[in-house]
Structure 1
Amino acid sequence: MNYFSRLTDIVTCNLSQLLKDETDPVQALEKIIEEMDQGIAGARRSVTAARLAVDRMEGEISERRTQIMAWQNRAKTELQGGNESGARLALARKTEVEDLVAGLQQQHRAAQNTFEQLQTTERALESKKAEAVRKLASLRAGYATDETEDFPQEGGISLQQDRNERINADLDALRKELLAG
């Protein structure tokens, strides 16, 4: 039996609800965690692809900005040489490339937003898996779970580092707020 058909199903699932009708909750939770692992692997691939798309866009924009400067310099050179029509042509090309850059920048913002959304989804999936792993440990130990219990969390090191950095930043902000108050 598949428990999830979409990644959002993992993020929004209620593990207790999924397990309540299962005859073997431990086995069911192991299967759920396997499916979560598959979802997380897919999310990681998507995040990597989105990051590469953002990087490619940035490279393209940089290349086009170099072209804008080249057309600007060519226009200046043509005008200095008394060739106004050549300068106009170079400025027309410069304008075309500027328009292209504007479109690329819009695509870059969209690609960046997609990347950030995928990263957020990946983090949410990791969090839900950590919850499932804690619940599995509780079931194996033979006692009911308390969602606030402090079991070691599984997940990527970078995810945990990111969370630790966010927690430290929140603590620093709270300290500053207390000192100011």
Structure 2
Amino acid sequence: MGIFSRTRDIIAANMTDMLDRAEDPAKMIRMIILEMEETLVEVRASAARTIADQKEMRRQMGKLAQVQDNWTEKAELALSKGREDLAKAALVEKRKATDLSEQLAAEVGVLEDALRASEGDIAKLQTKLREARSRQNAISARLESANNRVRMREMYAGQKTEDAFSRFEVLERRVDWAEGRADAMSLGAPPKSLEEEIAELRSSDAVDAELEALKARQQARES
């Protein structure tokens, strides 16, 4: 299969069917884009070789034109000297150079047609490649956004979050149990005796007296 035929096959391929049969559509898209890129490189390289061949052929045609002129001059010289046989032989050599030049011109024309065809193929393939890359980027962005939304929804509405909040209830129940145990330990404690209550009053009076003394000293310093 020629390089240009393969290019047209890629452009005309039913990518939807290929993706339906692919186990990993994203991987298949990457493979298609890679093949398109490789084909584009090959087509351009082939076009470059064709252009180089054309230039070489045109150089050869230029040289053959000089050869034809030389044989024409030789034929005229021979004829002027009465050597018709030599003039005829010179014209035969000129015809050989002319035939070769015409053959090269025909080949240059064939290569020119091939270049025009490849130029069209390259333009179509570049368009498809840009479209494929653009759609790949858009799909990748959408996929990333969808995955982010899924993770966010799992965080606030997923089973893991529900399980975590149910554990909060268990933990709160344990705290209630610990606090209840602490409160229960003070239940049934014996009441304070009369001496203990009077001692607390005395302690409170001593603190109040010391506070008043501190205030008096501070006022004396300020005055």
TM-score bracket for the superposition, by shorter chain length:
0.5 to 0.7
Q: Secondary structure at the match of 1:82?
A: coil
For 2:97 and 2:22, locate their aligned partners in 1 and report how far apart those are by CA, in whole Å: 61
Number of matched residues? 139
The structural deviation recorded for 1:17 is 4.0
Answer 1 or 2: which has greater helix percent: 2
2:118 aligns with 118
For the pair shown, which has the larger CA radius of gyration, 1 or 2?
Answer: 2
Partner of 2:203: none
Which residue does the alignment assign to 1:25?
Answer: 25
TM-score, normalised by the number of residues in structure 1: 0.67
Cα distance, 1:31 vs structure 2:
1.9
Q: How does 1:1-181 map to 2 (within 5 A)?
A: 6-22=6-22, 24-142=24-142
The alpha-carbon deviation at position 119 of structure 1 amounts to 2.4
The letter for the 1-side match of 2:124 is A
Letter in 2 for 1:61: M
Amino acid at match of 1:142: R
Aligned-residue offset at 1:7: 2.5
Q: Deviations along 1:106-164, whole A, 9 cap, x unmatched? A: 22211221222222222222121111111112201218xxxxxxxxxxxxxxxxxxxxx
Q: Is the 8 A contact 1:15 1:132 kept in 2?
A: no
Cα shift at 1:47:
0.9
Q: Could you say what secondary structure the match of 1:111 adopts?
A: helix
Segments of structure 1 that go 5 or more residues without pairing to the other structure are 144-181
- Residue identity matched to 1:42: E
- 1:142 and 1:20 mapped to 2: Cα distance? 19
Provide the rounded CA distance (Å) in 2 between the counterparts of 1:6 and 1:84.
57
Q: How far has the Cα of 1:69 moved from its partner?
A: 0.8
The offset of 1:9, in angstroms, is 2.5
Contact residue 11 and residue 128 of structure 1 kept, 8 A: yes
Superposed CA deviations along residues 69-104 of structure 1, whole A, max 9, x for unmatched, are 111111112222332222111111112221222222
Tell me which amino acid in the other structure corresponds to 1:119. E
Percent identity reads: 23
Asked if 2 retains the 8 angstrom alpha-carbon contact of 1:10 and 1:128, the reply is no
* 2:173 match: none
Partner Cα separation in structure 1 for residue 34 and residue 131 of structure 2: 14
CA RMSD of aligned residues (A): 2.2
| Higher RCO (Cα < 8 Å, 6 or more apart) | 1
Letter in 2 for 1:73: E
